[in-house]
Chain A
Amino acid sequence: MILLDIITKSIWAGIAAIGFAILFNVPRRTIFAIWGMGAIGGLIKFSAIHFELGIVFGSFLGATIIGIISIQMAHLRKSPPLVFSIPSVIPMVPGFFAYKMMLGLIALTAIENTDAYLQTLIETVNNGAKMMFILISLGTGVAIPMLLSRKESIKKSKFNKGKKVVV
């Protein structure tokens, strides 16, 4: 039952990725790949949360896998990796925490009661910290394959060895 729930959520995460892909006007040949990558990223993130690895580490794992697949896809579908990786990780961007933090900051300007103030402050800092660390983990996760291969372009990386490149 939990497995089914995770899989359904992942498929919807893929659909969210497609929404952003269309908004960013990606080439048509990349859309199906973006759906799959968004779903795989979601699957990893939701499983990680289910196994209590935490949302930050879960996002990091998901983004890393997306980063690795995006390099393979860049060869198969002839587009730079960021065209695949950015729409696929955007469903994981902590928009929810970002605006919770913003709402908290706005609320802090109006609260007089000390206890309520402290409570809101704690929640705001918590949401802000989560947002920052999830963002950093997404950005580094996507960049990891390039950081590890230490090449300037994927066309020179060893993922590419033995593959015929037609541009």
Chain B
Amino acid sequence: MKILKEDAQSVGNILLEIGALLMSSGASTNRTRLTMERTAKGLGYGIELLITQRALMLTIIEKDQQHFFSRLKRISPHGVNFRIVSGISHLSWNVMEQNWTVTQISEELQRLKTLPHYPRLVVLGTVGLAGSAFCNIFGGGSIEMVVAFIATVAGLFVRQEAIKKKFNPYLCVFFASLAASLIAGLAEHYHIGLQPDKAFATSVLFLVPGVPLINSVTDLMDGNIQNGIVRAMNGLMIAFSIAMGLFAVKMILNF
């Protein structure tokens, strides 16, 4: 049995922070639970957890069974960030194997939170290339690929700006879908390229809710049915917002 160096309260707070960061960065429910349990075990505590999509509930029981600490924490959605998922995975093993203290953990969490994203131009460029890659996969020619590139870059730019202005997340997706498909739709309208419909169909694929949908299946397989259903519903709402953007553009161009 390990000697407890930290009090239950600070351990509880740091565990909740780890869990909230993991859930908002795109880890599955099972991974969040395992990482929190592993970290707690490394610090010498046993925990009981309730994980939902928007809140975490944690109870720490000290080994003497006399004292316990309970707290709820809200999870604020930030968008997928795998650098944090990767960093926290290393962190939890460090706690387990090198007996990190709570101070060390909170310093590492601060460092992970300030890790830089890729430069905006790089993100726009590579996601644009991904858009033209989709166009190629669905059988578009080089002109359609250029159209898909421009449409994707414009759509992502609009989405980033909308997120900065703190619009509703589904509305951000709608705006992005509208911008991307409007550009591809105009190309179709003026008959640019041989198969302009391919560019129209693939210009919005960068918005596809891949992480919510795949995590939803993962959660369902792990038995976290509730979280799985919530994630699937979220994914369907995003798909619906994309479809509304496309629908709006079709209405505008047929007018």
**Measuring CB to CB, which residues of chain A are less than 8 angstroms from any residue of chain B?**
8-9, 12-13, 15-27, 30, 42, 78-80, 82-83, 86-87, 89-91, 93, 95-96, 98-99, 102-103, 106, 135-136, 138-140, 142-143, 147, 152-153, 155, 167
- Which of B123, B127, B133, B208 is A12 in contact with, Cβ under 8 Å? B133
Interface of B is mostly: helix
- Which of B28, B38, B86, B208 is A90 in contact with, Cβ under 8 Å? B208
- Which of A23, A83, A93, A98 is B123 in contact with, Cβ under 8 Å? A23
Which B110-127 residues have a C-beta within 8 angstroms of A?
117-118, 122-123, 126-127
**Measuring CB to CB, which residues of chain B are less than 8 angstroms from any residue of chain A?**
26-28, 31, 34, 38, 80-83, 85-86, 89-90, 93-94, 97, 117-118, 122-123, 126-131, 133-134, 136-138, 201-202, 204-208, 210-211, 213-214, 216-218, 220-221, 239-240, 242-244, 246-247
What residues on B are CB-neighbors of A79 within 8 Å? 82, 86, 89
Residue of B nearest to A46 (CB): B137
- Which of A18, A24, A42, A78 is B82 in contact with, Cβ under 8 Å? A24
Task: Determine how close the nearest CB of chain B comes to the CB of A83; give it in whole angstroms.
Answer: 5
What residues on B are CB-neighbors of A142 within 8 Å? 214, 218
Whether the Cβ atoms of B133 and A99 lie closer than 8 Å is no
Whether the Cβ atoms of B83 and A93 lie closer than 8 Å is no
Interface of A is mostly: helix
Whether the Cβ atoms of B117 and A140 lie closer than 8 Å is no
Residue of A nearest to B127 (CB): A19
Whether the Cβ atoms of A99 and B239 lie closer than 8 Å is yes
- Which of A18, A83, A96, A153 is B34 in contact with, Cβ under 8 Å? A153
Given A26-B83, A95-B208, A102-B242: A140 in contact with B129 (beta carbons within 8 A) = no
19 A-B pairs in the complex with CB atoms less than 8 angstroms apart: A9-B137, A13-B137, A15-B133, A17-B130, A18-B129, A20-B206, A22-B122, A78-B86, A83-B82, A83-B85, A86-B214, A90-B214, A91-B133, A93-B208, A95-B204, A135-B213, A136-B217, A147-B221, A155-B93
Q: Which 4 A-B pairs have the closest CB atoms?
A: A139-B217, A19-B130, A102-B243, A95-B208
